[in-house]
Structure 1
C-alpha cells in the first residue's frame, strides 16, 4: 500500500517540481531583466529631461540648478563640454566619473541618449549619456549616474520573495500530491485487496465505485468478475450436487436390483424383470453422461457447429415425419405448418437434436388426445420456429429457470419423470451457437410454446 502511494507521489512530485522550477526560473529571469531595463530607462529619461532643459536655456544658473536638483536625489549628474571636460558635477560622483568619461566614445551617442555603463553586478554605478545640441552643434553631454547598490538590493529582495514563494509552493505541492496520491491509490488498494480475496476463493467482494473514469470502470469490472465468479461457484456446487443426485438414483437401482437378480432362488421371469430395470437405468446413465459430455464440450468451446444452407420447410417436414409415429402411438395429433420455404444456415444434425428434444418434451408432458404443432414462418428479418402443445404447462415461477442445467419443474425428480434435466440447457446452447435465441411461453394447465428465433440467410 505504501509502496504504490510513495512511488506515485514521488513521480508526481518530480514532474511537478521540475515544471515549477522551470516556470519559476523563467519568471525570475524575465522579471529581473524587466526591472533592470526599467531602471536604465528611468535613468536615461532623467538625463534626457536635464538635456532638454539645458538645450532651451544653456546658462550658468541653469547648469547650477540641474546639479542642485540631483544633489537631493538618489542619482548623480555630470555635465561636460563637447570635448569631455567636466564642467559641473555632484560631489560624490567625481572619482567614478573621471574614470568613465574619458573612455566613453561620444561619437556614437544618439540625440536620444544611451547607456554607457550597464555592468550593475560588478560596478558601483550605472550610467547614461545624453548629448546637448544647440544650432546643430554638440554643446556638451549630460551624464547620469545611479548606484548599483539599489538595483542589487532590489534583486536581493526579489530573490527572497521568490525563495519564500518557492518554499510555500513546494510545501503545497507536497501536500496536494500526498492528497491526490491517496485519492488515486485508495481505490487501487481496495481493488488489490479485492483481487487477493478472489484469488483465495472469497467471492463476497463488494467495491463501492463512483464516477465513470478508468479507475471506476476497472472497479466495476472487478465487481462484475467477483459477482460472476460467485455465481459460477454457486452454479458449480449446484451442478455437482445435481450430478451426484442424478447418478445416485440409477446406481442405487442398478446395485439393488443386481443384488436381487444374483440370488439363485428367484424365478427367471422375475430375474428378467430386474435385468430389464437395470438395463433402463444403465440407459438413463448413458444418456446423462452423453449430455454432460455435450455440455463440457460447449463450455470448453470445442463444440463445433457446421452450418449448411437448409430449406426450412423441408427440414421441418422430415422432423415431422420422424416423430409422427410416436405421437400416433400415444393417440396424439402432430401438426406441421410452414408458410414460406426460406433458407437458413444451420447444423442439421445439431438442430435436429434441438427439435427432437422439444418434441419429446411436448409428447411427454401432454395429455392423450391433445395436439402438438410445429410452425415455421418469417417474422420481420428473422425466421421463427414454434413448437406448441396443450399439455400440463409450466408454472410462472419456474418459467425463467427451465433452461438452467438440471432444473426440473418436478422437484421430486422421480425416475419415471423423464430425462436428465439437461435437454433444454443443451438446446439453448445449440440455438445460441447458431446466433439465435429460444424462449418459452406457457400457461399452467393449458400448454406451452417453445419459440426459436434464427437470423434469416440472405
Structure 2
C-alpha cells in the first residue's frame, strides 16, 4: 500500500489449492481416458490399414522370389485406385512382360536347338557311315556334298541368328544415304537370277528409274535379297516373281509378289515370326529371312505386312519414309 510515495503496508491474499489440484487431476484423468479410448477405437483401423499396405507388398515380394527362382508365380490383381493399387498394377504388368519374354526365350531356344540338331544329326550320320566303311567309294563324293550342304546351312543359320540378334538389340547402326531403289533391286535380281532360272522362275521388276529413298544401302539390299530369295523358293515352276515400287505421299511402297501356292489368311500375320514356315514340307532356308527383313524395315521406321496375291501367291508389302530424319541414324 502506497501513500504519498511511501510504502505503508501490504495485503496478502491466500487460498487453498486442494480444489485446483483435484480439478487438474480430473482433467488429466479425463484426457488419459480419451487418449486410451481413441487408441482402442483406432487400433482396428490401424491394423486394417497396415495389412492393406503390407499384404500386397508381401505378395509382391513372394512373387519376385518365385520369378527369380524360375517358378510359376500366380498373382491376383488388386482393384484399388490408391498408390498401392497403382503400384500393384505396374508390378503385374512387369510380371506379365517378364513371363512373355521368358516364353519367347524358351521358344527361341527350342527352335534353335531343333534347327541345329537336324543338320548336325545328318552330318554325324554321314561321317559315321563313312568311318564304318558303309559308303561305297563311288558314293563318297555325293555324301561329302551332302555334308557340305548341311554345313553351309549351319553357317547361314548362325549368321542369320547373329544378324537378327544385333538388329533386335539395336547394335547395328544404319548409314543413311539417298539410294536409287531401282539400281539396288537390279543388283539383287542379277545375283539371284541363276537360282531362279534353275527353278524355272522368272524375275521381273517394275520400278521408276528416278525413284530414290533415304536408306542404308546394304540393309535395303538385304531386304530385297531375302524377300526375292524367299519368293523364288516358294514359287511354282513357270511362275514369276515381280518386284514393284511406287511413291505414295511421303513414303515409298515396295512389293515383292510370287505366284506360288499362297498362304492362308490365318498364317499371313505369322510369316514374320522366327523359324515360321507356312509350308512345313519345305526345309530350305533358315526360317529367319523374313524376321530379319521386318527388323530392318522397323529400324528404318517403316511398316511391313503380307497379303494374298491375286489370282494366286503371296505379296510382301513394305513402306519406308522417303526422307529419314530424327535420331538413331548416321547420315553419310
Question: What residue number does 2:328 align with?
Answer: none
Return 333-342 or 352-361, whichever deviates more: 333-342
The reply to whether residue 390 of structure 1 matches residue 256 of structure 2 is: no
Report the equivalent of 1:357.
Answer: 226
Structure 2 counterpart of 1:253, from 106, 122, 130:
122
Retained in 2: the 8 A contact 1:340–1:377? Answer: no
Match of 1:406 in 2: 275
Distance (whole Å) between structure 1 residues aligned to residue 25 and residue 249 of structure 2: 85
The structure that has the greater radius of gyration is 1
Cα distance in 2 between the residues matched to 1:103 and 1:323:
126
CA spacing shift, 1:444–1:379, aligned 2, 3 Å: closer
Q: How far does residue 261 in structure 1 lie from its aligned partner after superposition? A: 4.3
1:449 aligns with 2:318: no
Q: 1:176 to 1:307 in 2, by over 3 A?
A: same
Work out whether 1:280 is the aligned partner of 2:149. Answer: yes
Tell me how far 1:389 sits from its aligned partner. 1.7
Q: CA deviation at 1:319?
A: 3.2
CA gap 1:304/1:267 in 2 versus in 1, 3 angstroms: same
1:135-161: CA deviation from partner (whole Å, max 9, x where unpaired): xxxxxxxxxxxxx99888776665554
Q: CA offset at residue 197 of structure 1?
A: 0.7
Residues in 2 aligned to 1:123 and 1:401: alpha-carbon distance in whole angstroms = 101
In the other structure, the counterpart of 1:440 is: 306
Aligned CA distance change for structure 1 residues 159 and 262 (closer, same or farther; 3 Å): closer
1:157-211 residue CA offsets vs partner (Å, 9 max, x unmatched): 6555444333323333443222212111111111111101101101443231323
Q: CA RMSD in A?
A: 3.4
Consecutive unaligned residues of structure 1, counting only runs of 5 or more, are 1-82, 84-101, 105-116, 126-147
Task: Give the structure 2 partner of residue 335 of structure 1.
Answer: 204
Of 106, 116, 124 in structure 2, the residue corresponding to residue 237 of structure 1 is: 106
Structure scoring higher RCO (CA < 8 A, sep ≥ 6) equals: 2
Q: Give 1:223's match in structure 2, choosing from 92, 98, 105.
A: 92
* Mapping of residues 133-152 of structure 1, within 5 Å: none
1:103-153 Cα offsets, whole Å, 9 max, x none, are 69xxxxxxxxxxxx9xxxx9539xxxxxxxxxxxxxxxxxxxxxx998887
**Quick check: 1:178 aligned with 2:47?**
yes
In 2, distance between residues paired with 1:390 and 1:445?
8
How far, CA to CA, are the matches of 1:406 and 1:195 in structure 2?
Answer: 32
Flag the 1:123–1:350 CA change in 2: closer, same or farther, 3 A. farther
Decide which of 70, 74, 79 is 1:210's aligned counterpart: 79
Give the paired residue count: 317
Q: Deviations over 1:66-104 (max 9, x none)?
A: xxxxxxxxxxxxxxxxx9xxxxxxxxxxxxxxxxxx869
Is 1:381 the counterpart of 2:272 in the alignment?
Answer: no
Provide the residue aligned with 1:137 in structure 2: none
Correspondence for 1:199: 68
The answer to whether the Cα contact below 8 Å between 1:319 and 1:352 also exists between their aligned partners in 2 is: yes
**3-state secondary structure, aligned to 1:206:** coil
CA offset digits 1:371-392 (Å, max 9, x no partner):
3222222334333222122211
Which of the numbers 15, 20, 23 marks the counterpart of 1:124? 15
CA deviation after TM superposition for structure 1 residue 269, in Å: 4.0
Q: Which TM-score applies when normalising by structure 1?
A: 0.60
If the length of structure 2 is used for normalisation, what is the TM-score?
0.79
Distance 2:10 2:320 in 1: 102
C-alpha distance in 1 between matches for 2:137 and 2:154? 25
Q: Distance in 1 between matches of 2:258 and 2:320?
A: 21
Matched-pair contact (CA < 8 Å) for 2:168–2:295:
no
Which residue in 2 is equivalent to 1:418? Answer: 284
Corresponding residue SS for 2:175: coil
Summarize the Cα distance change of 1:219–1:251 in structure 2 as closer, same or farther, 3 Å threshold.
same
1:438 match: secondary structure: strand
- Tell me: CA distance 1:282–1:151, structure 2 relative to 1, closer, same or farther (3 Å): same
Cα 1:429–1:209 change in 2 (3 A) is farther
Give the superposition deviation at 1:246.
Answer: 1.9
Structure 2, unmatched stretches of 5+, are 4-8, 325-332
